[in-house]
Amino acid sequence: IMRNVNVALIPIALLSSIGYQAKAETAKVKDEHPNILFILADDLGWNDIGCMGSKFYETPNIDSLAATGVKFMSAYSACTVSSPSRSSIMTGQYTPRHGVTDWIGEKSGEDWRKMKRNSKLLPADYNWCLPEEEYTIAECLRDNGYTTFMAGKWHMGDPKTWPEDHGFEISVGAGGMKGGYFAPFNNPKLPDNEPGENLSIRLGKETIKFMEEHQKTNPDKPFFAYLSFYAVHGPIQTNQKYWSYFRDKAEKMGIASNGFKIDRTLPVRQHQDNPVYAGVIKEMDDAIGMVLNELKKLGLDKNTLVIFTSDNGGVTSGDNYSTSLLPLRGGKGRQWEGGIRVPLIYSYPECKAGTTIDTPVIGTDFYPTILDYAGLKLHPEQHKDGVSIMPLLNGKNIKPRPLFWHYPHYGNQGGEPSSIIRKGDWKLIYYYETAHSELYNLAIDLSENEPLNAQYPEKVKELEAELMQWLKDVNAQKPVADPLYSPVKEAAVKNNWHTKLLKQQEKLRKDMLNKNWKPNETWWDSMVTID
């Protein structure tokens, strides 16, 4: 082994050769390990974009990505709400394994009584931050030569743990959206630039800035950019121009006299006709277009895998009652397909453009798929519940497998504590309040209108047994009966939802579609900038 080599004694030609070889090796690494751009929407529903069937919302840039890439029709988030599904993307694990089973900040155990829902059960306790010992996809890519960058929403433990604590070398904007969609943002991780600036556009600009600087300083090093929008989460806000355009569009399409119906718990929106929500989607799509154009401008599109998806289903009830996902039943926070089925697009240079895939995939699959595409070693001890779907992207198949969900909580969008298994076309939902299941066949009943328990009792028994074994294997925490439960008080709460709340939502819907509607004098500060 040579030590203390005098560089001055090495011939110039040899030094040049060494330098050339080093550059060649670096370039080889870049060629072998493509850039990864992961775009995550917040609360965007399965058919809230044009290429997934929406006739009202307009998403030309996302649609263009699908036209050049691969679109999945049966893609699922790992949970019906944000923090758990995001944690599963980062870890490749189902929610009971990492322990983040509800959105971080929601009450559980006896604290749940403070919500005054008078529920039968006390929701299970859960982790309030992504566990430090988890080896995230960002950490893995960083350790394999990637520059890691994140812009936008974190919601996996802030302020206890930030993106920088879990593998992201550069992070902007993870401090929340207390200020809304227009500056001032009141975000400690995102200093204001210009008054009235749109949050989605700003996150797009921050991502562009990162890519430009990366090209200047580290052109031979691959990057992992995680663009995590706050859109289209409530409180929904848009500018007057977009509201007016979509209000007029709703009128041309025909405005229904009634917009909601009760589905077991809360009122559920029945039509995609919310002009404010449409504006939020359009602004996010504008930002995505900016980023994709910059990829092409920098020549990075030839060596970048772009992934677009959502963290859970769209909000059909609760929060801002923003959208309708029909024919899917339910939405965010709820146990039906509307709560867990999400849009998913992969786009990369070698893909067969315009491909559509029906095979069910889930959020735990991103971790191994990204590593597989990047030519890196898999870490099955970490991403225990994910599989690489590269074979699907290459026109082949993956081994059939059951998919699982566990949500031992009450969703503030009307969801009930439940666990789910999907196996083939069969889906079984187990409810903790009543200890009974609902069996559906999604091939013949995508809307989950007709349980098939009576027709297929053996299938119910089979899937229940498999689900219960899985819950045991992952040490799933479960809700418990509340000894202070009062059915009379609970009935009063639900009666209020079915009467007063329903009327409030119907009025708000009609107000937003009125030509003279105005949220405030400055349109949430959007009017302080020149459009």
Radius of gyration of the chain, Cα coordinates, nearest whole angstrom: 24
Helix intervals (H) in 342-403: 366-373, 390-393
Q: What is the pLDDT of residue 158?
A: 78
Place of tokens 């900038």: 529
Let me know if 73 is exposed, middle or buried by CB neighbors in 10 A (0-12, 13-18, 19+).
middle
Secondary structure (DSSP) of 477-499: ---EE-TT--HHHHHHHHHHIII
Q: What is the pLDDT of residue 18?
A: 40
Q: What is the pLDDT of residue 13?
A: 41
Could you tell me if 347 and 374 are in contact, meaning their C-beta atoms sit under 8 angstroms apart? no
Please list, in sequence order, all residues whose beta carbon lies within 8 angstroms of the beta carbon of residue 121, skipping any fewer than 6 positions away.
Answer: 410, 417, 432, 433, 479, 480, 481, 482
Q: What is the pLDDT of residue 25?
A: 38
Question: Which strand (E) or helix (H) includes residue 170?
Answer: strand 170-172
* ∠ CA 271-346-82, rounded to 5°: 55
Q: What is the pLDDT of residue 29?
A: 39
- Checking DSSP bridges between strand 35-41 and strand 223-228, what pairing results, if any? parallel
Please state the φ and ψ torsions of residue 81, each to the nearest 5 degrees.
Answer: -135, 170
Q: What is the pLDDT of residue 159?
A: 77
What is the C-alpha to C-alpha distance for residues 497 and 415, in angstroms, rounded to an integer?
Answer: 14
- Checking DSSP bridges between strand 304-310 and strand 35-41, what pairing results, if any? parallel
- pLDDT tens digits for range 468-508: 999 999 999 999 999 999 999 999 999 999 999 999 999 99
pLDDT < 50 stretches in the chain: 1-30, 530-531
Could you tell me if 64 and 250 are in contact, meaning their C-beta atoms sit under 8 angstroms apart? no
- pLDDT tens digits for range 205-260: 999 999 999 999 999 999 999 999 999 999 999 999 999 999 999 999 999 999 99
